[in-house]
Amino acid sequence: MLIPVEQALASLLASAAAKPIENCETLPLAQAQGRVLAHEVIAGLDLPPWPNSAMDGYALRVADAGGAPLVVSQRVFAGQAPEPLQPGTCARIFTGAPLPEGADCVEMQENAELLDDGRVRLLQALKPGQNIRPQGQESRVGDRVLAAGTRLGPVELGLLASLGIAELAVISRPRVAVLSTGDELVEPGQPLGPGQIYNSNRTVLCSWLRALACEVVDAGILPDDLDLTRQALAGLGDVDLILSSGGVSVGEADFLGQVLREEGELALWKLAIKPGKPLTFGHYKGVPVLGLPGNPASTLVTFGLLARPYLLRRQGVEAVAPLQFHVPAGFAWNKPGTRREYLRGRLEQGRAVPYGNQSSGVLRSAAWADGLIEVREGAVLVEGDPVAFIPFSELLG
């Protein structure tokens, strides 16, 4: 019986929520990129702190317009504190400058005529509030501007900067041990012997984990050997997750699973997902263990759809689901499957087009692709039918 992807994800997320990373650390804003906010952020000032001009032009009272041209009684640049506006006059004002008290509108300079005598004639009717950015239009003192569990990217960091926040508490990086299993694996830079291949999953997982604010404990290559597996796990020390790839295929001597059965607990799932059917989840001495299938495209898909949301939820992130949208299929599908397929594909003229070779061993399919095309269990598609598309930009960070 295959487990639906949603069900496996729900179990993983529940398990993650039950074991949140509890430590946090205070960082300067410039170092908080990609991290997760530990506490909500409350605005300590109004944004903007005072009404200001949205235009280069003239600040005045609407009531004073419509008569004779107005004398310019002051000039206000951004960064200056204006005098109250003298009745019956206008103020030259520039974008971002505070509005003089008493003014109730700003006319852009293009709609005003500067006369030779220095007075200003207004060429159009005016409305109160025109071209004024009111105090607090963005946020008010006391507003909850960001929730705990928000991931901090350029926009969030900019918002914090606009509130004058120089440092903030973020969730400590989860420490993740990465194990690549397989006698056939060799690291790049070493010569390849007969039957050997280069270890690519290690590089994929280590760099992806760092993008998810994790600290990588690279545990290297684990040979297919029970004693060595036991020793490797025992030597890992203090980590928040053990993440392995390979060694979970059906029929294979399952060394990681055997150690977990002896010294921990183990769930072996056969997921209704392609690529990536076999998945291990368990605990070793209380530390969660996630075992991904070893084929490079399977590792990619299961990490992106299961391990990524798991690790974000461990850090307290609520919104862990990648954005996806529906686009017309640029292909036909006439072999309804029992597993949900995630084809590595691209958008071409708005249509989702899969890479020609969808073998789970082919990582190049993903390098060619812009994202994953979801083909649901049992689906039969003709060209133009809607399919869900998950851009890699949603998954890879």
Q: Which residues bind ligand AMP (CB under 6 A)?
A: 180-182, 184-185, 197, 199-202, 245-249, 252, 293-296, 361
- Taking the complex as a whole, how short is the minimal distance between the CB of residue 25 and Mg ion, in angstroms? 37
Asked if 278 touches Mg ion (CB under 5 A), the answer is: no
- Taking the complex as a whole, how short is the minimal distance between the CB of residue 264 and ligand AMP, in angstroms? 20
Nearer to ligand AMP, 92 or 202 (CB): 202
User: Could you say which of ligand AMP, Mg ion, none residue 33 binds, taking C-beta under 5 to 8 angstroms by partner kind?
Assistant: none
Asked if 293 touches Mg ion (CB under 5 A), the answer is: no
User: Could you say which of ligand AMP, Mg ion, none residue 82 binds, taking C-beta under 5 to 8 angstroms by partner kind?
Assistant: none
Residue whose tokens read 């012997």: 193
How many residues in the shown chain lie near Mg ion by CB under 5 A? 3
- Taking the complex as a whole, how short is the minimal distance between the CB of residue 9 and Mg ion, in angstroms? 25
Asked if 330 touches Mg ion (CB under 5 A), the answer is: no
Nearer to Mg ion, 139 or 201 (CB): 201
User: Could you say which of ligand AMP, Mg ion, none residue 57 binds, taking C-beta under 5 to 8 angstroms by partner kind?
Assistant: none
Asked if 296 touches Mg ion (CB under 5 A), the answer is: no
Asked if 246 touches Mg ion (CB under 5 A), the answer is: yes
Angle at 52 between CA 48 and CA 54, to 5 degrees: 105
- With CB under 5 A as the contact rule, the residue among 149, 174, 182, 282 that binds Mg ion is 182
Nearer to Mg ion, 100 or 275 (CB): 275
DSSP element (H, E) containing 172: none
User: Is 374 in contact with 390 (CB distance < 8 Å)?
Assistant: yes
Within positions 247 to 266, which residues make up the interface with Mg ion, using CB under 5 A?
247
- Taking the complex as a whole, how short is the minimal distance between the CB of residue 203 and Mg ion, in angstroms? 17
Residues in the chain: 397
Nearer to Mg ion, 246 or 296 (CB): 246
Q: 323-327 long-range CB contacts below 8 Å, 24 or more apart? A: 323/390, 323/391, 323/394, 324/374, 324/388, 324/389, 324/390, 324/391, 324/394, 325/388, 325/389, 326/386, 326/387, 326/388, 326/389, 327/351, 327/352, 327/386, 327/387, 327/389
- Taking the complex as a whole, how short is the minimal distance between the CB of residue 229 and ligand AMP, in angstroms? 12
Classify each residue of 112-129 as buried b or exposed e, where b means 16 or more C-beta atoms within 10 Å of its C-beta: beeeeeeebebeeebeee
Residue whose tokens read 């960082």: 27
Cα–Cα distance measured from residue 337 to residue 300, given in angstroms and rounded to the nearest whole number:
20
Cα–Cα distance measured from residue 213 to residue 361, given in angstroms and rounded to the nearest whole number:
27
299: its two tokens: 């590792």
Kindly list the residues in this chain that would bind Mg ion in the complex (CB under 5 A). Answer: 182, 246-247
